[in-house]
Structure 1
Amino acid sequence: MTHFGPTKLDAAVIPKIAAQWGTPIYLHDQEYIENSCEQLLNMPNAFGLHVRYAMKANSDRTVLRVVTNKGLDLDCSSLDEAARAHVAGIPYSRMMLTTQEVPSGTERAELEEMIKAGLRYNVCSLLQFQLIADFAGANKVDLSIRVHPGAAGGGESATRDTGSEYSCFGVHLNDVPRVKAMADEKGLRFTQVHVHIGSGGDPEKWRANIDRELGFVRDYFPDAVTVSFGGGLKVARMPGEKQADIASLGAYAKHRIEEFKAATGRELEMEIEPGTFVVANSGHIVTRIIDKKFTNEMNFLIVDGGMELLTRPLLYGSEHPIYIVRQDGTLLSSEYDQTPTAGLKSFGIVGRCCESGDSVRLDKDGNIVPVEIIEPEIGDYVVIGGTGAYSESMSPENYNSHRKPGAVMKTNSGELVLIRKKQVREQLVQNELDVQL
């Protein structure tokens, strides 16, 4: 199944969800996530394909189980992510750790136990290598290395560019010969090489990264059997956006890896680590309109969930499609399907936070951009699409002491299941100490 854009909204279930669990609330779709996994696993490849899910996109245990049950392994960005996935029942042998952390003390001991249990450690700095080298040698552990390519990255914005000289991720290409010499001296092997240049960027830059990476795999890493091209595969959240053609990208990688085999005699397995592509368009945020306000310049709808649920518009200027649903489950307007086209009115849609940037749509200067919709009433629902990735996992949920909402998943059978409870007020202060000054 090929899908583009957010999963189709079943407007009739919105008031049912709100009545049972309240708003705001996250909504996910199991079938959509599984179809995304299948598309990725069917990418063209030369000598095998390994797909890891970048769990930072959405770390909920039910989401992790859906993804890993479909055959994807995990890319973790912190020790806590790895431990969290393990609590969800996923073995460390199905994880790779790619982190900026330099664990010490008890965290270092925890890292060593994870590696002994099968965690693949992706070296991301000279210091990380120096600190892990003796342990890896003593335990006969092969390593992975993330290389900073020293070239223009491929992020959709500067904040999502992880390959340029203004990005700090990975061992810089200039330092690779030094790290490789140290590894050779200690008898260590880098059996995987990894480069991730950014999220949601130009497919041509993704292709250029393949060429560049295969070049330094050939020059510096004779023991490499796996080459990871990272993630960053763009999804089409809004009408008019172009989704990454993963069949075309896979075919290009397949061709280049076959050329590499012809030139060197070495067969390389391809690895990718998408997050957004797997879950972004599986998700919606359901909010309820709690007030209306009007100024000389703009009409406003105030909803009961904003930047504390979805920070991407404020961080990146990202756009998400807006749906208006009546309290009886009637779909009034869909921005993604651009229906209807008549009778629309401009509204700035804002949340409850005491912050001028708390809006679902902002321009490059941070000003609120109105959305063209059918005018709703207080009590109706504003549903935000394309929010399955980097929404609940990344947002400042307790800003203004708002509580993290619950999450619901629509299963393959159509059943709605609560997968995370709403945070209770006591949890806001449970770690605060009652110090008398």
Structure 2
Amino acid sequence: MHLSEQNSYTIQNIDPIQLVEQYGSPLYVYDGGTIRRKTQELQNAFSGINMKIKFACKSNTNLAILRLMREIGVELDVVSTGELEMGKLAGYDTGQITFTPSGVPFHEVKTAVEAGAIVNVDSIPLLEWFGQTYGNTKPCLIRLKPNVAAGGNIKIMTAHADSKFGISVLLLDQILTVVKKYDIKVIGLHQHTGSDIKDAEPFLQVADIVFEAALQFPDLEIIDLGGGFKVSYKPNDPITDMQLLGNKISERFKNFCEKYGRELQLWFEPGKFLVSECGYLLVNTTVVKEDPARTFVHIDSGLNHLIRPMMYGSYHHILNISNPAGEKKDYTIVGYICETDTFATDRPLPEVRQGDVLAFLNAGAYGFTMSSNYNARFRPAEVLIDNGVAKLVRRRETLEDLLLTQVGFTE
């Protein structure tokens, strides 16, 4: 969000307060220009190799966002058949979609394979079923677990020894036995370490493990190193140095390809990195309550719209866009859910008054997609701003939406 010389906030020169007046509050707003910039940043970091970006769309499945990703050459990684269908609706060819399940029923895998998506196999039982069902007639990737712990929060680490994700690299002999038994067409190896990884070292460590395992598979076309790059949450927050990471991994990857005997394609699956910074959750202040312990700011939203602070203890920077020049004071920002839903404790903000609009930053990833109807509340509308034009891309829910799937109701 840009602070202009007039001491007011804008997104691509559009006043977010006017968006709230037009579309209501709370409101999710996405800046398409930020998505384009983050995509270019990743492409530039790996400009010297054959690299493909697969957007981890579990972070944001709005069709307008998916269409924008497709426009700028980003493909998709999905984790459910529902996300697969959304990708198709956004115009993707199924061959551009990777299906990375986690212990799903095998009929979902069959649906994805027969739709034309490339499946990323995450267990020995699934690998056995895949071999029995398809032999070498369908390609697949295998998701390895490198047994490396890295990431900003234990809940979002996915490659350590106790993680449910992938097949442990310690079981490589079993993997190779099953692959040989059914002559499975393994075209790629995949791993995903976790999220919010700041330093290059964990990426290099897991890359070396995957590269070493890859030498046992003669027909590979792809190495997929996942995502997990750290984004900035707080002012001056350290982030992943993408250029440094790109240089180091590119060098390792080139050396591996030379050893392997031919050039492969390197994939990454960023989610939060591409869309976190593009998103804002705009809310209205309903009550400012002075208390002997602290001053509470109640807003017209809650963990039903943005669960990350309560689920992960995550930090979201908050702006008072109605009164940016007000005198600073400490506030505890809380939601309207009948349960503790604290967004920030003793956060310094310009004076907050009833009716002020607050903006939660870094709300583009795992905001709306993790939202719910808890307390029979409606999910917000979503607006995409791209090339200076604001467009409603999801209307606000109504009571009719909440009742739509209920059956057997009699008045």
Pairwise TM-score range, normalised by the shorter structure:
over 0.9
1:274 corresponds to 2:270: yes
2:24 aligned partner? 22
2:365 aligned partner? 389
In structure 2, the CA distance between the partners of 1:188 and 1:104, relative to structure 1 (3 Å rule), is: closer
1:423 corresponds to 2:406: no
Between the aligned partners of 2:383 and 2:32, the Cα distance in structure 1 is 10
Question: Secondary structure at the residue paired with 1:372?
Answer: strand
Instruction: Give the letter for the 2:374 counterpart.
Output: Y
1:51 aligned partner? 53
Measure how far apart 1:110 and its partner are: 2.5
Question: Secondary structure at the residue paired with 2:238?
Answer: coil
2:315 aligned partner? 319
1:403 equivalent among 368, 374, 378? 378
Question: Secondary structure at the residue paired with 1:51?
Answer: strand
1:353 aligned partner? 337
1:208 equivalent among 205, 212, 217? 205
Between the aligned partners of 2:385 and 2:10, the Cα distance in structure 1 is 10
Between the aligned partners of 1:112 and 1:93, the Cα distance in structure 2 is 10
1:142 aligned partner? 139
2:127 aligned partner? 129
In structure 2, the CA distance between the partners of 1:313 and 1:79, relative to structure 1 (3 Å rule), is: same
1:165 equivalent among 161, 177, 182? 161
Measure how far apart 1:102 and its partner are: 3.1
Question: Secondary structure at the residue paired with 2:98?
Answer: strand
1:113 aligned partner? 114
2:195 aligned partner? 199
CA contact (8 A) 1:46 1:255 kept: no
Measure how far apart 1:296 and its partner are: 1.0
Measure how far apart 1:47 and its partner are: 4.1
2:6 aligned partner? none
2:10 aligned partner? 10
Question: Secondary structure at the residue paired with 2:342?
Answer: coil
CA contact (8 A) 2:70 2:91 kept: no
1:236 equivalent among 232, 236, 243? 232
Runs of 4+ in 1 over 4 A off after TM superposition: 6-9
Between the aligned partners of 2:150 and 2:31, the Cα distance in structure 1 is 29
Between the aligned partners of 1:186 and 1:376, the Cα distance in structure 2 is 65
Question: Secondary structure at the residue paired with 2:368?
Answer: coil
Measure how far apart 1:54 and its partner are: 0.3
Question: Secondary structure at the residue paired with 1:360?
Answer: strand
Deviations 1:254-277 (A, max 9, x none): 111222234342322211100011
Instruction: Give the letter for the 1:10 counterpart.
Output: T
Instruction: Give the letter for the 2:111 counterpart.
Output: E
Measure how far apart 1:346 and its partner are: 0.8
In structure 2, the CA distance between the partners of 1:112 and 1:225, relative to structure 1 (3 Å rule), is: closer
1:215-364 alignment runs, 5 A limit: 215-218=212-215, 220-326=216-322, 331-332=324-325, 343-356=327-340, 358-361=341-344
Between the aligned partners of 1:428 and 1:43, the Cα distance in structure 2 is 44
CA contact (8 A) 1:320 1:384 kept: yes
- Paired-residue identity, %: 26
Deviations 1:405-430 (A, max 9, x none): 00011121x12110000011111122
Measure how far apart 1:128 and its partner are: 1.2
Which piece of structure 1 moves more, 6-15 or 284-293? Answer: 6-15
Between the aligned partners of 2:2 and 2:316, the Cα distance in structure 1 is 13
Deviations 1:343-381 (A, max 9, x none): 31111011100112x1212xxxxxxx2110111221111
CA contact (8 A) 2:112 2:118 kept: no
Measure how far apart 1:146 and its partner are: 0.3
Instruction: Give the letter for the 2:155 counterpart.
Output: T
Between the aligned partners of 1:207 and 1:104, the Cα distance in structure 2 is 33
Which piece of structure 1 moves more, 398-407 or 256-265? Answer: 256-265
Q: Which runs of 5+ in 2 are unaligned?
A: 4-8
CA contact (8 A) 1:325 1:332 kept: no
Between the aligned partners of 2:281 and 2:257, the Cα distance in structure 1 is 47
1:87 corresponds to 2:89: yes
CA contact (8 A) 1:324 1:374 kept: yes
User: How many aligned positions are there?
Assistant: 402
In structure 2, the CA distance between the partners of 1:31 and 1:202, relative to structure 1 (3 Å rule), is: closer
1:340 aligned partner? none
Deviations 1:167-191 (A, max 9, x none): 0101111222212222112222211
Question: Secondary structure at the residue paired with 1:65?
Answer: helix
In structure 2, the CA distance between the partners of 1:29 and 1:382, relative to structure 1 (3 Å rule), is: same
Q: Which runs of 5+ in 1 are unaligned?
A: 1-5, 334-342, 362-368
Measure how far apart 1:99 and its partner are: 0.7
CA contact (8 A) 1:226 1:270 kept: yes
Instruction: Give the letter for the 1:128 counterpart.
Output: L
CA contact (8 A) 2:112 2:119 kept: no
Instruction: Give the letter for the 2:130 counterpart.
Output: I
Between the aligned partners of 1:109 and 1:122, the Cα distance in structure 2 is 12
TM-score, structure 2 as length reference:
0.93
In structure 2, the CA distance between the partners of 1:55 and 1:108, relative to structure 1 (3 Å rule), is: closer
Between the aligned partners of 2:285 and 2:138, the Cα distance in structure 1 is 55
Question: Secondary structure at the residue paired with 1:386?
Answer: coil
